[in-house]
Structure 1
Amino acid sequence: MVTLEDPIEIGGTTIPNRLYRAPLLECAGNGPDAVDALIDDLEPAAASGVGLLCQGATIVRGDGGCAAPGMTRVHDPEFVSRLSRLTDRIHDHGSRIFLQLEHGGLRSMETWHAEYRREHPDLEQLAVSEPPWQLQSLDRLGFLEYDPHVLTTAEVYDLAADFGRSAEYAVDAGYDGIHLSGANMGIVQQFLSPFYNRRDDEFGGSPEARLEFLALVHEEIRERAGDVPLMTKVPAETPAPPSPLVRRKLSLEDGIEIARRLEEIGYDAVVPVQTSVVWDMSIVRGEYPERAWANEGLQAEYDAAFGGPTHKRLVSVANRVQSLQYDFEPAWNADFCRRVRERVSIPVLAEGGVRERARMDRLLGDSSGESSDGGESPACDMVGMARPFYAEPRLGARLLETGSEDDGSRVLCESCNNCTVPQVTGAPGICRTPDVLRKRGELERNGAYERT
């Protein structure tokens, strides 16, 4: 019987248990207080017993590529060396920490953030190919702005080297592993996806060629950072917009094959996720964040981000429509993870809509060897959550060693998404729902977050 408390190895590194904090947007930036902000954000999860922390997406270059304000850049070895204070604090609690690396490509602030564009008029998006016609239409209508620089073959090699250098700096700073942001419309997904990748060189033209960028990044990281554990998200673009608008996308079978080939390349673990071809609520399924949009204190910041009240209202309407399209579904990546796990021998990590200890146990596999959701085998080897850690920074203490039947083993997060919208202004990722905060206060007073 596999339990949440059992250790597991990823690339030769032992993780003390199978609960992980999935990558989140920390909004710490690179300023003088960045390291302290990251410690404040990440250490509580380690102190609560969480086995693995994945620090949210960090950018491998000094210019461009940020998907949201406040993202930390890890191109500078001097800055990254200061992050050893963070890794030391995580290790003091017996936990492990992986650094997620990313470049936004077309999904960057150069595309959607009006004020940022005004302040950086010469900054282009990096693009795998010319934007698809669907995105060019949004440009012509004034919803987004695209001025892409399509990477040459030599520049693709340079970008992969930047991933390798950042991984080297991270290992020197004490990080236990590297996690690539392979989904959520970042540059890695853009290389993998036929929706974006229409290249005619060695990095495009076939499913195998579209995977070459990840193979090259693997090679660069191994050469520069050694045998550090290396994992990546694996996308299946299954909840993309209706087929008349998007016909070229990654199917579930495509995602499974990508995971299989990544194991052959030498990746140590995979995180299969169903996502869209565009940046929408497919990755944060749940309710329409009405409270966040109505926040009077953030209206000016919303206007600056989206280019004025009219565009702000249009984004809000799109948000409402997407909340209906991507209704919350418990463990929505479980079937994808299970099918990947049947084809690979490396650890498979599951995240997305996991909200209670009982489901975690079923995803990992019960004593009969059967899994959670009607499947014939366990769905994953580790279970992760993201937004619930905004609501309960020390959540691990409530989930670990409670057992699946414990009444208190469900997270407080209501998937209301009121934590997500303010982050377009650079606001920190925190829970903003009064009822959830009240319940957390009661649990704190009752000692629920103290480790036994």
Structure 2
Amino acid sequence: MAELEDPLDVGGVELPNRLYRAPLLECAGNGPDAVETLIADLEPAAAAGAGLICQGATVVRERGGCAAPGMTRVHDPSFVADLERLTEAVHAHGSRIFVQLEHGGLRSMETWHAGYRAANPDLRQLAVSRPPAVLRALDRAGFLEYDPHVLTTAEVHDLAADFGRCAAYAVDAGYDGVHVAGANMGIVQQFLSPFYNRRDDEFGGSRAARARFLELVHDEVRERVGPDVPVMTKVPAETAAPAFVRRHLTLDDGVALCERLADAGFDAVVPVQCSVFWDASIVRGEFPGRAWRDDRFREGYETAFGSRLRALGVAALNWLQSLQYDFEPAWNRRFARRVSERVAVPVLAEGGIRERPQIDRLLAAGDCDAVGMGRPFYAEPRLPARILDAEEAAVACENCNNCTVPQATGAAGVCRTPSVLAKRGELRREGAYEREE
């Protein structure tokens, strides 16, 4: 029976406990203050006792591939070398830090962000295959804009090599491990998914062939970082796909993929249930009405979505999705448990984990080997101090999602909900975030 305070071995790297900060968008970019922004965002979790910090998705190419404004790119070895200041700050508190590597593919800003498209008219989306019919219909209707470049077989190998090169830069800068972004509708999920992947080469067709790109990424990373650096990945099951989407990854598919990837050499897997679309299935909870009404972001929404009318349309769709994807505690628990029963590598669970008793039940039941939280860290950067210290602790986060929508404008991912901020202030005054190291 595992306990939260127990250490965990992931590919030869020992985590001091089983609580981790799940990947979030830090909005640090690559400017002169990027490293300081990352330190300010990530070091508090390490100082408060998190066993592992997963830096949010970082893009492996110089142009294109960003799913949101403010994502950090790690293609430049000189920039990544300066991130040693971040890894040293995390290590000073005894925590470990993994970098998450990503490319958005069809989900990139060159698809949905009107202002970005206008500023970069020559950028085309990287595509696994021709976009599915429903996405082409949204293009014709003006909601999205596609000018996709379908990757050739040789270009697929080149993209995997970019993941490997960026992983090597990160490890040289002191990162303890590599986390491949395999879900949230990025290009890795697009290769895995029969909804997106209609290729007829070695990377398409059967479930095994669709997994080949992720296996190739693993091999490229492993070749460059060696056998002693852990490599993990998220693995999707597209169980939240709408009923009209016939071709998608079922829960059985997700379990089988986890088995295959563990056999291929991944040192840990993170099973997550999602959709085939970038929608509220990723951040289940309330409709973020406060964020949509906030005048500070109105101009940014209009720039991102093309006009005030279109921004209102996106808000309306967001409201409809919030009705479909209500908050569900530990919504990946069943998936994680099924995977835990089939693989020998650690299984990490995240998604809707919000209180210490829930964490203890997940670990005691063998549903997973470690637990991660994401959005609650926007509300409480030093959250681990409370979760590790009190058996009945629960997060201050209210799952209102007002932290996420403004990120479409380039705003930082921070909590803006008065009741949550008041609760955090009260906890700070009580000394709840203080912790002896």
How far apart, in 2, do the equivalents of 1:435 and 1:112 lie?
32
Is residue 432 of structure 1 aligned with residue 416 of structure 2? yes
Corresponding residue number in structure 1 for 2:321: 322
Corresponding residue number in structure 2 for 1:374: none
The list of structure 1 runs, each at least 4 consecutive aligned residues, that deviate by more than 6 angstroms after superposition, is none
SS of alignment partner, residue 178 of structure 1: strand
Corresponding residue number in structure 2 for 1:234: 235
CA contact (8 A) 1:74 1:166 kept: yes
How far apart, in 2, do the equivalents of 1:87 and 1:240 lie?
37
CA offset digits 1:68-116 (Å, max 9, x no partner): 0010000000000000000000000000000000000000000000000
Q: Give the Å deviation of 1:414.
A: 0.3
Q: Give the Å deviation of 1:402.
A: 1.9
Corresponding residue number in structure 2 for 1:394: 382
Residue identity in the other structure for 1:439: K
Is residue 411 of structure 1 aligned with residue 412 of structure 2? no
Counterparts in 2 of 1:6-85, with a 5 A limit? 6-85=6-85
Corresponding residue number in structure 1 for 2:145: 145
How far apart, in 2, do the equivalents of 1:446 and 1:353 lie?
26
Residue identity in the other structure for 2:231: L
Q: Give the Å deviation of 1:280.
A: 0.3
Consecutive unaligned residues in structure 1, runs of 5 or more: 366-370, 372-377
Q: Give the Å deviation of 1:168.
A: 0.2
How far apart, in 1, do the equivalents of 2:316 and 2:344 lie?
43
SS of alignment partner, residue 379 of structure 1: coil
Q: Give the Å deviation of 1:2.
A: 1.6
SS of alignment partner, residue 98 of structure 1: strand
Corresponding residue number in structure 2 for 1:450: 434
Counterparts in 2 of 1:84-103, with a 5 A limit? 84-103=84-103
Q: Give the Å deviation of 1:401.
A: 3.3
TM-score by length of 2: 0.99
Is residue 270 of structure 1 aligned with residue 292 of structure 2? no
Corresponding residue number in structure 1 for 2:246: 247
SS of alignment partner, residue 329 of structure 1: coil
CA contact (8 A) 1:168 1:224 kept: yes
Corresponding residue number in structure 1 for 2:255: 256
Name the % identity: 70
Is residue 107 of structure 1 aligned with residue 107 of structure 2? yes
CA contact (8 A) 1:5 1:401 kept: no
How far apart, in 2, do the equivalents of 1:298 and 1:221 lie?
39
How far apart, in 1, do the equivalents of 2:72 and 2:45 lie?
19
The correspondence for 1:382, drawn from 370, 373, 392, is 370
How far apart, in 2, do the equivalents of 1:34 and 1:309 lie?
31
Counterparts in 2 of 1:190-205, with a 5 A limit? 190-205=190-205
How far apart, in 2, do the equivalents of 1:71 and 1:341 lie?
32
CA offset digits 1:409-447 (Å, max 9, x no partner): 000000000000000011001000001001100110110
SS of alignment partner, residue 354 of structure 1: coil
How far apart, in 1, do the equivalents of 2:225 and 2:171 lie?
7
How far apart, in 2, do the equivalents of 1:33 and 1:431 lie?
21
- What do you get for the CA RMSD once the two structures are aligned? 0.6
